[in-house]
Amino acid sequence: MRKIISLICLLLPITLYADELKLQENAPDRYIVVKGDTLWDISAKFFKDPWKWPQIWGYNKDTIKDPHWIYPGNVVYLDPSTHTLKVGESAPGSAESGSASEIPSVTENGQSTSDTVKLYPRARQITGKGEAIPLISLKDIGPFLSRPLVIDENELDSAPVLIGTYEHRKLIATGDIAYAKDMPGNKGERWQVYRPSQTFRDPDTGEVLGHEVVYLGDAVVEKFDTLSTLKISRSILEIAPGDRFAQATTGFASNYQPRAPEKQINAKIISIYGGLQQAGQNAVVTLNKGRRDGLENGHVLALFQKGDVVPSDSTFSADTTLPDMRYGLLFVFRVFDKVSYALVMQTRLPVQISDRASTPD
């Protein structure tokens, strides 16, 4: 029994150290929030693992419901006793903590006096409730939150189809009247127009994971019938007969809690949005894993590049495959059944198709 207790005492510090947050080498003591900051960026100024959200801010992961509580002008400071971040109008004990700084003056003989102070005015910024900084930059993912992106085989086959216009126009724009078949009358009047683009297939199994679609514009149904009458209320690209309709969405939650998946996820990048072969930070990529595999909005995955193969210098020994190299982080922000979209948050190398995205250590 004594040996077991000794072993536990020996391993306990190692366990605690393994889960300890790692500070950046140049981490500041405090940081004043400015407009345009994100919570992720601020966390990354202090810690090497900004996705370890509950630990960084001293919360239990189940208690963080809305991370939008920081405003421009707030001071984020590192609590030396807990190694977590705190937020306030100013950090305790700082020159900004009061309406003025109090610094004892010094007499001619070098002695300080306790009854004389120098006052330094400080500008105070008052912010509104609507100015809370977001978790990540919404300008990078905004267009992906309220538009159809991936349609499965059944949805594609049953989607309402644009048949044509009264004037038999080949290209349809804002304000034009169009006709559609198979338009259900119980799903509202507002619809989005899209066109199938590419088909996603699993690189390992060949399974069809869904069809990525291009958003073309919006339409409003004026009359439901065998051939329903619609008015194109908005077009950002040319709309043509044969295009499909999807029910308009009301948007998706934008305040995700970053966290590692609770189970081991091993996904691959199967597409880079825009048809690119390589990408950098803030690019949007598609993964071959989705809701059915346990992925959720807010999950953070580590990026890995496949290790190189080092040829053997002997005909009698096998080549050596180097370990996969971790080089960045992904933030999953929209999940479908079989695929997901993720934002590249950090990267030291170009992100490429077929790179691995897995649960971070």
- The predicted-structure confidence for 70-80, as pLDDT tens digits, reads as follows 888 889 989 88
> Which of the four pLDDT bands, split at 50, 70 and 90, describes residue 180?
very high
Between 302 and 153, the higher pLDDT residue: 302
- Supply the pLDDT for residue 253: 59
State mean pLDDT over 13-17. 34
Measure CA 302 to chain center: 13
Find out whether 135 and 343 touch, Cβ atoms under 8 Å. Answer: no
60-75 b/e (C-beta count within 10 Å ≥ 16 → b): eeeebeebeebbbbbb
3 pLDDT higher than 60 = no
Tokens at 156, concatenated: 């594609």
- Supply the pLDDT for residue 123: 44
3-state secondary structure of 7: helix
| Calculated CA dihedral for residues 39, 42, 44, 47, nearest 10 degrees | -110
Find out whether 338 and 287 touch, Cβ atoms under 8 Å. Answer: no
Question: How high does pLDDT run on average in the chain?
Answer: 81
State mean pLDDT over 147-174. 88
- Supply the pLDDT for residue 271: 96
CATH architecture of 266-358: Beta Barrel (2.40)
State mean pLDDT over 153-182. 90
114 pLDDT higher than 70 = no
CA distances from 123 to 13, 34, 73, 96, 347 (A): 45, 14, 10, 9, 37
Residue 44: closest CA among 66, 60, 21, 61: 21
State mean pLDDT over 87-93. 57
State mean pLDDT over 180-209. 94
Query: At residue 131, what are phi and psi to the nearest 5 degrees?
Result: -105, 15
294 pLDDT higher than 90 = yes
Rounded to whole angstroms, the Cα distance separating 3 from 104 reads 58
3-state secondary structure of 16: helix
Which of 19-23, 66-70, 91-95 is least confident?
A: 91-95
State mean pLDDT over 335-354. 95
- Supply the pLDDT for residue 138: 79
Between 314 and 150, the higher pLDDT residue: 150
Residue range 304-342, pLDDT digits in tens: 999 888 887 777 778 888 889 999 999 999 999 999 999
Residue range 29-80, pLDDT digits in tens: 999 999 888 888 999 999 988 888 778 888 755 555 555 578 888 899 898 8
pTM of the model: 0.76
- Supply the pLDDT for residue 61: 57
Residue range 257-278, pLDDT digits in tens: 788 999 999 999 999 998 888 9
- Supply the pLDDT for residue 19: 53
Neighbours of 102 (CB within 10 A): 10
Residues of the chain with CATH 2.40.10.410: 266-358
167 pLDDT higher than 80 = no
Rounded to whole angstroms, the Cα distance separating 238 from 170 reads 9
